[in-house]
Amino acid sequence: MEPNRTGMTRKDFLKLSATVGAGIAIGASGIGAILGIPKPQAEGSKASAHSEEDIIPMYADHQPGIVTPQQTYLYLAAFDITTGSKKDLIAMLKDWTRFCDLSAKGGTMSLGDNPLVPPTDTGETLELPPSRLTVTLGFGPSFFVRDGVNRFGAAGAMPLHLKDIPRMARDNIDPSISGGDICLQICADDQQVAFHAVRNLIRLSTGRASLKWMQEGFASGTPGKTPRNLFGFKDGTANQLHDSAQGYDDVVWAGSDEPAWMRGGSYLAYRKIQMKLESWDRTSLSDQEATFGRSKVSGAAFGAKGEFDAVEASKLPENSHVRLAKETRQQIHRRAYSYTDKVDPRTGNVDAGLLFISYQRNPDVQFLPMLRSMQNSDALNAYVSHVASAMFACPAGLQPGLYFGQRVLEG
């Protein structure tokens, strides 16, 4: 079946030109006339009837992609706002909202029927299901205030605990891949679907924001089982401790002391952690298990039988990773992905590791004490290096008719 070509008016052309960076200003109405067109369906394609399991609703009390069961692929992208116009910023956020709503439902933008201009949508997800696509948006500290300047009049809306993660003793942070004004966490079970989303969101930001850095990741595991990191150990076992509505209220969702837009939101903490795989792979199994304080195969902590059995910190090696985390008596919600980047030409070693992502309601109480303890004493430090860092405040979920950040900018 041929794509649903709806025709392109001059107005659409002007909007498209703005979208692809031709230097033509886009109006505040955004690209609403182009968005909202159903994805063309291939005859006989499975995509002709998306199953409910393929679609994660964008509109909810909390943003999707935080406590959503983890998808297989991740793109984490940070943007710096380049426009000084609040009106243009709002227009971009409206465009992003429309695109994300459409994509989460399995739709796509119209390709148009004028062969003399670039298609509006890049097209690589035609005939593909939505694959549980989620887009989670967060604001960095510099979105609100930069160099002492109240940006977009939003300084008064800054949440209580939002700040750059302080420098830690063992940090090797690269500023070029850290921080950012806005973060988009994009997850899906199909890498092409996830990349299509981030690619088109970048295009839609043209003239109003620039991509600062982007990381891609993967997390593979049997459904219902805890995924493993590249050291071969289960990553996220402790999430089971707060897997309930009350547990998420206690651990993940920001409370009533926060600005109204943040209540029901969460703080995203990010660390890019290089893993020295070659050194780890030369380490004995017993030393690997002592480093974590868990069995590599079962995931059980030392002194326990099952992965989810209660942990007795006193039975774990003194500087083991799990013991130090337990001794803080805090919980966070982990949503980590592995990554592979490139080969170090000097050593031939692979640059690979963990995109550590956690969500918490109060990073000052939950996350930062845990990070400081790990940086000072963790036996795992012999095998890892923290190279990127960021903190973002993710608003509460969107309701239909609102756009990303509306309650921040218009609250």
Do 262 and 395 meet the contact criterion of CB atoms below 8 Å apart? yes
SS3 331: coil
- Average the pLDDT over 352-361 and give the result: 98
- Average the pLDDT over 321-331 and give the result: 95
Helix axes of 191-204 and 86-104: crossing angle, nearest 10 degrees:
160
Amino acid letter for position 172: N
User: Comparing 181 with 29, which gets the higher pLDDT?
Assistant: 181
- For 95, the enclosing helix (H) or strand (E) is helix 86-104
E strands, 90-203, are 134-139, 145-146, 149-150, 182-188
- For 215, the enclosing helix (H) or strand (E) is strand 209-218
Residue 145, pLDDT score: 97
- Average the pLDDT over 196-209 and give the result: 97
Q: Are strands 73-81 and 333-334 parallel, antiparallel or unpaired?
A: unpaired
Do 233 and 299 meet the contact criterion of CB atoms below 8 Å apart? yes
Residue 35, pLDDT score: 53
Do 109 and 99 meet the contact criterion of CB atoms below 8 Å apart? yes
* Count of Cβ atoms closer than 10 Å to residue 406 Cβ: 18
Taking the C-alpha atoms of residue 96 and residue 200, their distance in angstroms, rounded to an integer, is: 9
- For 392, the enclosing helix (H) or strand (E) is strand 384-394
The Cα diameter of the chain in Å comes to: 71
**Which residues, in sequence order, are CB contacts of 353 under 8 Å at separation 6+?**
230, 272, 273, 274, 275, 338, 339, 384
- Average the pLDDT over 242-246 and give the result: 96
- Average the pLDDT over 88-110 and give the result: 94
Do 110 and 163 meet the contact criterion of CB atoms below 8 Å apart? no
The percent of residues in the chain predicted with pLDDT above 70, rounded, is 88
Residue 70, pLDDT score: 94
pLDDT digits (tens, 9 = 90+) for 18-55: 444 332 223 333 344 345 445 444 444 444 456 778 99
